[in-house]
Amino acid sequence: MATKVPNYNALSSLLDRLAIENIKLSFFENALEHDDLDAAAAEEYGAKAARQREMIDVLKVDTVDLMVEAVAAGNYEYVAEGRTFE
């Protein structure tokens, strides 16, 4: 298994991004369901929600693939990042 880099391809990064993209999706879905949108805004939010679902699907696959790879390899290596604060 290749060494993972925080904020790039580490498991924590994928999980963080998955959470963020789901929050964005919920914003669009909530607006579609509860806001008084005109036709253009409803179409725009519908398209944005669809793109969010696509992104979430990719992130889920990447996350599962990484987890399977780590289990199969029996280890998970990452570069420890240095912090500029304590």
Task: Write the pLDDT tens digit of every residue in 72-84.
Answer: 999 999 998 888 8
Task: Write the pLDDT tens digit of every residue in 19-48.
Answer: 999 999 999 999 999 999 999 999 999 999
Residue with tokens 């806001």: 35
Domain encompassing residue 22: 11-73
For residue 32, being part of any structural domain is answered with yes
For residue 3, being part of any structural domain is answered with no
* Burial annotation 54-75 (CB, 10 A radius, 16+ → b, else e): ebbeebeeebeebeeeeeeeee
Measured CA to CA, the distance from residue 39 to residue 32 in angstroms comes to: 11
N- to C-terminal Cα separation, the chain? 31
Total-model pTM: 0.84
For residue 83, being part of any structural domain is answered with no
For residue 1, being part of any structural domain is answered with no
- Going by C-alpha positions, the residue among 1, 9, 2 that lies closest to residue 81 is 9
For residue 52, being part of any structural domain is answered with yes
